[in-house]
A = this chain, B = another copy of it.
Amino acid sequence: MASWKEVELGSMSKVQETLSSHSCGSCLVDKTETVHINPDVESPYTHQPLWFKMREYCRDATSEFFGTMILILFGDGVVAQVLLSHGQKGDYQSISWGWGLGVMLGVYASDASGGHINPAVTFACCVFRGFPWRKFPVYALSQTLGAMAGSAIVYGNYKSAINAYEGGPDIRTVPGYSTTATAGIFCCYPAEFMTRTGQFFSEFIASTVLMFMIFALKDEGNLGAGPLMPLALFFVVFGIGACFGWETGYAINPARDFGPRLTSYMIGYGHEVWAAGNYFFWVPMVAPILGCTFGGWIYDLFLYTGMDSPIHTPCVGIKRLLGPFHQRRVALQSPV
């Protein structure tokens, strides 16, 4: 969330240039001569461009992977601690803290890729901020894999405690099918009284608020959070947890829900992870994407004054939406 336009990674690419072209002579010498204090000691830095090249190529992916992993480590970790300790080592407010912290620290860790750590946010950025559509699959996949990795680590950390809570190392149950269910550590299961409409609406409105606030906080034409962005995101996510978190567990993030759900299925929680809540699992995949798109649209329609939004195209973006993609991209980029 820190930089929506693609960061050019200026300093890094210069390093890359230096490393990969160290044999090409004169113009480079001017730069490196001042760097080498002892020119007779050959610098070891000029011999290993391979890992750097690979890393640079995958930077978006690794950055989103680790950002989402941090998010899930803190988020799933706090749910595990509160649940498995029977509320002795934290309460519902701790859970709000944990998820808020997870987002905050995940964004700090993943600024190189923009700190989305949420496919729904990436989607809304593609729609409203000209973020390249070709990057969407990479981002979504990295985020999901990061969430899976994070939840697997949480499972490893709390395995003994889960055994003690469930009653044995072979017992893994899902909320609604058992009173000692622990699957809620990993992903969201809705409260029992919720209808399907209510489930969907709850996820939708929470995601709308999330995206509306992200765009507001990023908008330099509004007040804008500036360097306080991660802290402000902490407050947004804490607030969504405290105010809209009860009914469906506020996934508001397809990767956050689907990744750990898949992990828990692989661990052995059984088919119930998909069937629970009348096949609730697809709601936190679809509703956040629709909600974030709607929230971004509301913000751009009424409050955004920047020129990079499709709202500034005819019919406040609807004509653009129905037109072909490539035309839209050209138009968006023209008045840079």
Question: Which residue on chain B has the smallest CB distance to residue A32?
Answer: B335
A227 proximity list for chain B (CB < 8 A)? 226, 228
Contact B305 A9 (CB under 8 A): yes
Stretch of A124-132, A209-217, A254-262, A274-282 at the chain-chain interface: A209-217
- Which residues of A from 264 to 295 have beta carbons under 8 Å from B? none
Q: What 0/1 readout, one digit per residue, does chain A (182-194) give for beta carbons within 8 Å of chain B?
A: 0000000001011
A70 proximity list for chain B (CB < 8 A)? 209, 212-213
Stretch of A20-28, A133-141, A171-179, A198-206 at the chain-chain interface: A198-206
Contact A112 B222 (CB under 8 A): yes
Contact B48 A315 (CB under 8 A): yes
A29 on the B face (CB < 8 A): no
Contact B15 A307 (CB under 8 A): yes
Question: Which residue on chain B has the smallest CB distance to residue A78?
Answer: B243
- Which residues of A from 304 to 324 have beta carbons under 8 Å from B? 305, 307, 312-316, 320
Question: With A98-B239, A302-B55 known to touch, is A38 a contact of B221 (CB < 8 Å)?
Answer: no
- Report the interface size for chain A: residues with CB under 8 A from the other chain: 111
Contact A212 B101 (CB under 8 A): no
A53 on the B face (CB < 8 A): no
Q: How far is the CA of A334 from the CA of B120 in the complex (A)?
A: 45
Q: How far is the CA of A168 from the CA of B66 in the complex (A)?
A: 47
Question: Which residue on chain B has the smallest CB distance to residue A316?
Answer: B51
Contact B92 A88 (CB under 8 A): yes
The distance from the CB of A65 to the nearest CB of chain B, in whole angstroms, is 8
- Which residues of A from 214 to 264 have beta carbons under 8 Å from B? 216-217, 221-228, 230-232, 234-236, 238-239, 242-247
Q: What 0/1 readout, one digit per residue, does chain A (58-94) give for beta carbons within 8 Å of chain B?
A: 0000110010001001110110110011001111111
Contact B305 A161 (CB under 8 A): no
Q: How far is the CA of A252 from the CA of B45 in the complex (A)?
A: 33
A314 proximity list for chain B (CB < 8 A)? 44, 47-48
The distance from the CB of A217 to the nearest CB of chain B, in whole angstroms, is 6
Contact B236 A105 (CB under 8 A): yes
Question: Which residue on chain B has the smallest CB distance to residue A158?
Answer: B247
Contact A108 B48 (CB under 8 A): no
Question: Which residue on chain B has the smallest CB distance to residue A48?
Answer: B314
A307 proximity list for chain B (CB < 8 A)? 15, 45
Other than the known A44-B314, A63-B303, A109-B222, what 5 A-B pairs have Cβ atoms closer than 8 Å?
A2-B223, A81-B243, A97-B242, A98-B242, A109-B303
A residues touching B (Cβ–Cβ < 8 Å)?
A: 2, 9, 11-12, 15, 32, 35-38, 41, 43-45, 47-48, 51, 55, 62-63, 66, 70, 73-75, 77-78, 80-81, 84-85, 88-94, 96-98, 101-102, 104-105, 107-109, 111-112, 115, 153, 156-161, 163-164, 191, 193-195, 198, 201-202, 205, 209, 212-213, 216-217, 221-228, 230-232, 234-236, 238-239, 242-247, 302-303, 305, 307, 312-316, 320, 330-331, 333-336
Query: 8 A-B contacts, Cβ less than 8 Å apart?
Result: A48-B313, A74-B242, A98-B242, A107-B223, A108-B223, A109-B212, A111-B224, A157-B247
